[in-house]
Amino acid sequence: MKVTINDVAAKAGVSIKTVSRVINNEPSVRPVTRKKVMDAVEELHYHPNLAARNLAGTRSYTIAFIYDNPNAYYVIDMQNGILEACKARGYELLIHPSNSKSPDVHKELEDLVEHSKVAGLVLTPPFSETAEVIDTVRKLGVDYVRIVSAEAADKDEDNCIQVNDSSAAYELTRHLLDHGHKRIGFLCGGEEHVSTHGRLDGYKRALRAAGIAAEEGLILKGEYSFDSGVQGAKTLLQSTNPPTAIFASNDEMAAGALFAARLMNIDIPGQLSIVGFEDSPFSRQTWPKLTTAHQPNNEIAKCAAALVLSKARSKGASESGSASKEAGIQRSFTPALVQRDSSGPAPE
């Protein structure tokens, strides 16, 4: 019923060791032999048994996905991307939700690596941006990839998949400027997120490039939540000289801003333009639908996973040179403008 390496070996007329060599891409196998084995594998629909591999080998066929994020859409997208990458390479995924503020994180990570014997870690914010966490991971000597805002990659590019918040925010701001907006309000996300700073930076740069001075009164602190968006927009719109456009740091805040504007009977986008960030399903659940920047979380995660896996595999195998610069894996992403209905020309 269940086909094992023995069956393949028998069918191919070689020893099980040779089959093992072939499926692990080890050198020293003649092309003819390799072909014979591959054919047998194909015919029998052979899949190596993960448990046996984990047990026998020194390397592991499991990676872990660590997250602590209230945004379920984000997590699911990431997870699916990682899952795809794992499936494609015959790896297993260990899902590990955790609390980044808990003092146990370090012990948890240690357990994960020592006891569960994982080959690599995919870290998302806030873990990926927490120096202590990264330190712990490094000390453990396990492969890892951090998904981070480009600003946070400092000196660790080899282990990072970067999201260029600043550039995307620049583009989004340009979009508003191009539509004639001169006074653009900016609602910041939480201070603790690196992305918050990147997005603000992009906004400021775009303004500067357009020869417009950033006005402190138009930049409001906040956090990545609906309520924060509502409050921020209210403050902005009730000021003596309100902006004609609002850049909310994520879609959820933008939805809040939209809501606040509606309450004040302000027409969107007629009297006020609003843009969000991320292109979460959220941005399609508002009315009008949000103009935003599309962050391809699924793709990002897929690359992150592919990267850890390539690290793990190169280490396990022939230690052949600089596999760290694995080709074909995109390392940097810039969310692109998605123009929908919440933004338009400045009034008058």
Partner DNA sequence: CAGGAATATGACAACGCTGTCATCAAAAGG
Partner DNA sequence: CCTTTTGATGACAGCGTTGTCATATTCCTG
Segment 202 to 231, residues that bind a second copy, using CB under 8 A: 226, 230
Q: SS3 of 171, please?
A: helix
CB of 48 to DNA, least distance (A): 4
Q: Which of 138, 178, 263, 325 binds a second copy (CB under 8 A)?
A: 263
Segment 31 to 60, residues that bind DNA, using CB under 7 A: 32-33, 46-49, 52-53, 55-59
Which of DNA, a second copy, none interacts with 83 (beta carbon under 5 to 8 A by kind)? a second copy
User: What CA–CA distance (Å, rounded) separates 292 from 297?
Assistant: 14
DSSP strand E in 98-176: where?
120-123, 143-149, 160-163
Which of DNA, a second copy, none interacts with 101 (beta carbon under 5 to 8 A by kind)? none
- Are the beta carbons of 307 and 118 closer than 8 angstroms? no
Told to check if 11 binds DNA by CB under 7 A, we report: no
- Are the beta carbons of 314 and 246 closer than 8 angstroms? no
Q: Kindly state the DSSP code that residue 216 receives in the 8-state scheme.
A: G
User: What CA–CA distance (Å, rounded) separates 215 from 126?
Assistant: 30
> Which lies closer to DNA via its Cβ, residue 46 or residue 282?
46
Told to check if 18 binds DNA by CB under 7 A, we report: yes
Q: Is 276 left (phi over 0), alpha (psi -120 to 50) or beta?
A: beta
Integer CA distances (angstroms), 310 to 19, 21, 108, 143, 307, in order: 22, 18, 24, 10, 5
Tell me the two tokens of residue 165.
């918040």
Told to check if 294 binds a second copy by CB under 8 A, we report: no
CA 59-21-11 angle, 5° bins: 130
Q: 67: part of which helix (H) or strand (E)?
A: strand 62-67
Segment 147 to 186, residues that bind a second copy, using CB under 8 A: none
Which of DNA, a second copy, none interacts with 327 (beta carbon under 5 to 8 A by kind)? none
Which of DNA, a second copy, none interacts with 345 (beta carbon under 5 to 8 A by kind)? none
Query: By rule CB under 8 A, what string of x and - marks binding of each residue 66-105 to a second copy?
Result: ----x-xx-xxx-xx--x--------xxxx-x--------
Residues found near DNA in the complex (CB under 7 A) = 2, 4-6, 13-18, 20-21, 23-24, 27-30, 32-33, 46-49, 52-53, 55-59, 316
Residues found near a second copy in the complex (CB under 8 A) = 1-2, 47, 49-52, 54-55, 70, 72-73, 75-77, 79-80, 83, 92-95, 97, 114-115, 226, 230, 252, 255-256, 259, 262-263, 281, 284-287
